[in-house]
Chain A
Amino acid sequence: MNILVCIKQVPDMESRFKVAASGTWFEESDLAWRINEYDEFAVEQAVKLKEQLGDADLTVLSIGPARVKEALKKALAMGCERAVNIVDPAAAEKDSFQIASSIAAFAKDKSFDVIFTGMQSQDRGSGQVGVLVAELLGIPVLTTAVEFEYTDGSITVRRELEGGLRAAVKASTPALVTCQLGLNTPRYPTLPNIMKAKKKELLEIPIGELLKDEARLTTLALAYPEKKGSALVLEGEIGELVDKVIGILKEKTSVL
């Protein structure tokens, strides 16, 4: 079986973001970068499927500048066989359609049986790329998976719906699955696997060889949310904060 997992490298969400001079994206220097959280579940599921089948081949792909190689190396250390960096220093300026279209152009003649992606990225959160890749390739897509099973050419997933409800759905391969948090427990790469990963193939393809489409979405601005919150902000020494909070709860609520 031929498996592909697509990952994105995103900043640590605990970072303090600054709007870049362009006014349409954040300043990328001084940020710590990691694999998009949803994509870690995708990588783990891809590795688990490879382990289940024994003779599967697993490729990990990421679009972005040179720094995304760090994310790819982690995926290799988690158990992927080879990595593909679609090199694009201006990836942040591409819309979801262009990203999906580039991935589909790469995948179209490679007969992947199962493709995994995260259900969304943590920075942009559009939730479009996985579905668009599948639609462009003309294969079924099962989104928001919190459970995954593969048996004899058939995939069954549990989709997470709202309010604690799940839906069981099934499709035949080739198919794409988008992964939700909690699907599995992503493994930590071991030191021997990190060393082995250094020898694995890392292919670079310039974005221009794959992307032929114009953007469908224009970003006009990026900004901090307007502060409409009227929260009273309390700072200071713990003992004083505790007294203040008890005073407020007594005054403003009926619970104390």
Chain B
Amino acid sequence: MKALLVGEYREGKLLESTYELVGFAQKLGCEFELFLVGTEAALPQVNAKLYLADVATVGEYNPALHKQLILDAVDKANADTVVFLHSSSGWDLAPRVALALGAAQLSEVVEIKGDGYLLPACNAKLRRTVKAATGKSVITLQAGAFMPAEQSGAPQVEKLTTSTPAQSEFLGYEQAEAGQVDLGKAEIIVSAGRGVGKPENVAMIQALAEALGGEYGASRPVVDAGWAPHDRQVGTTGQVVSPKLYVACGISGAIQHLAGMKKSEFILAINTDKDAPIGEVADVLVVADIKQFAPALTAKLAG
């Protein structure tokens, strides 16, 4: 087995997730080479062959071009497996590459299992073991599921170019509007999930956060529903946090949320469902209705 690892680069920087791909290949014990659309100024520190396409020429988001360059690299590396991170870049590119290679795609791999892989299903309530039925395969890895490799060494760079026509035009990046609060710095965060039931109940979570001397946060559905502002969102598309205490209120534990908070020192979860995936990362799981538990805890802390 030989893998081509597709590194990630954004706005002048190599993304740390690139080392998770290397960590995965090392865990699998397979030969690997890397591919990156980036610059010579931000190369991954890995002792391996690196196929490098110049971001200034091919653009940071130009899937038709990136696909062709990756296919060229697969050919040169004689790779049978292409590995992406399951990210906004990875899930956009991986199916294109899989189709062109006639390969199976295994999305959001969380573990290696025998000669197959484990994938989450139904909001991480279940796990599927799958295997490619094709000679070649394309894999995307769940963010944070594999330990990043140590950063050491220097790649042997081979440059790639393409003249494939573009199908879409990249107009630029936009930062979501900056908020008032930086959850990354908070030592205590109390977050509201869908289980709080209705917008008015977010105030109850806010009150508990104040009683504990911390900030309140929210899961994606709560923010999407407009019950809390975006700067309060914890998760891969919001903020990644690591407070001393994280209190997850009525949060079932979708993968994207877990990825944003699982490095917290101590995690207290309150959920009516004893089997909720949040129990996988929590230190303490209180099986209770948050609408009863939060006010009771707030009152006790105040009293």
Contact surface of A with B, Cβ cutoff 8 Å: 11, 13-14, 16-17, 19, 24, 26, 95-97, 119-120, 122-128, 131-132, 135-136, 139-144, 156, 158-171, 181-182, 214-225, 227-235, 238-239, 241-243, 245-246, 248-249, 252-256
Q: Is B293 a contact of A238 with CB atoms below 8 Å? A: yes
Q: Is B88 a contact of A161 with CB atoms below 8 Å? A: yes
Which residues of the partner chain B approach A135 to less than 8 Å between Cβ atoms?
95-96, 99-100
Task: List the A residue with the shortest CB-CB distance to B289.
Answer: A238
Which residues of the partner chain A approach B169 to less than 8 Å between Cβ atoms?
169-171
**Interface bin, chain B:** 35 or more
Which residues of the partner chain A approach B40 to less than 8 Å between Cβ atoms?
none
Q: Is B134 a contact of A165 with CB atoms below 8 Å? A: no
Q: Is A95 a contact of B92 with CB atoms below 8 Å? A: no
The one of B121, B131, B220, B274 that contacts A125, using a Cβ cutoff of 8 Å? B121
Q: Is A216 a contact of B103 with CB atoms below 8 Å? A: yes
Which residues of the partner chain B approach A163 to less than 8 Å between Cβ atoms?
236-240
Q: Is B284 a contact of A232 with CB atoms below 8 Å? A: yes
Q: How far is the CB of B46 from chain A (nearest CB, A)?
A: 22
Q: Is B171 a contact of A168 with CB atoms below 8 Å? A: yes
From 195 to 246 in chain B, residues with beta carbon under 8 angstroms from any chain A beta carbon are 212-214, 220-221, 223-224, 230, 236-240, 244-245
From 98 to 115 in chain B, residues with beta carbon under 8 angstroms from any chain A beta carbon are 98-100, 102-108
Asked if B123 CB lies within 8 Å of chain A CBs, one says: yes
Asked if B161 CB lies within 8 Å of chain A CBs, one says: no
Q: Is A239 a contact of B128 with CB atoms below 8 Å? A: no
Query: Can you list 19 A-B pairs with a CB-CB distance of less than 8 A?
Result: A122-B123, A126-B108, A128-B107, A131-B92, A135-B99, A161-B10, A164-B230, A166-B173, A170-B168, A171-B167, A219-B128, A220-B116, A220-B129, A221-B129, A222-B126, A222-B127, A223-B129, A225-B280, A252-B266
Q: Is B126 a contact of A223 with CB atoms below 8 Å? A: yes
Q: Is B268 a contact of A249 with CB atoms below 8 Å? A: yes
Which residues of the partner chain B approach A252 to less than 8 Å between Cβ atoms?
266, 283
Q: Is A164 a contact of B133 with CB atoms below 8 Å? A: no
Which residues of the partner chain B approach A17 to less than 8 Å between Cβ atoms?
122, 125-126
Q: How far is the CB of B171 from chain A (nearest CB, A)?
A: 4
Q: Is A221 a contact of B282 with CB atoms below 8 Å? A: no
Which residues of the partner chain A approach B94 to less than 8 Å between Cβ atoms?
128
Which residues of the partner chain B approach A13 to less than 8 Å between Cβ atoms?
122-123, 125, 252
Task: List the A residue with the shortest CB-CB distance to B140.
Answer: A127
Could you tell me the distance between the alpha carbons of A252 and B267 in the complex, rounded to whole angstroms?
11
Which residues of the partner chain B approach A223 to less than 8 Å between Cβ atoms?
126-127, 129
Which residues of the partner chain B approach A229 to less than 8 Å between Cβ atoms?
279-282
Could you tell me the distance between the alpha carbons of A119 and B214 in the complex, rounded to whole angstroms?
35
Which residues of the partner chain A approach B100 to less than 8 Å between Cβ atoms?
135
Q: Is B124 a contact of A225 with CB atoms below 8 Å? A: yes
Could you tell me the distance between the alpha carbons of A171 and B269 in the complex, rounded to whole angstroms?
44
Which residues of the partner chain A approach B86 to less than 8 Å between Cβ atoms?
127
Could you tell me the distance between the alpha carbons of A256 and B187 in the complex, rounded to whole angstroms?
12
Q: How far is the CB of A75 from chain B (nearest CB, A)?
A: 20
Q: Is A165 a contact of B104 with CB atoms below 8 Å? A: no
Q: A218-B131, A245-B268 are in contact. Are A125 and B244 (CB under 8 A)?
A: no
Q: Is A167 a contact of B293 with CB atoms below 8 Å? A: no
Could you tell me the distance between the alpha carbons of A167 and B131 in the complex, rounded to whole angstroms?
34
The one of B106, B274, B301 that contacts A233, using a Cβ cutoff of 8 Å? B274
Could you tell me the distance between the alpha carbons of A200 and B86 in the complex, rounded to whole angstroms?
39
Supplied contacts A220-B129, A255-B245, 10 more A-B pairs, CB within 8 Å: A125-B120, A132-B95, A144-B88, A163-B237, A164-B230, A167-B60, A170-B171, A182-B224, A229-B281, A255-B187
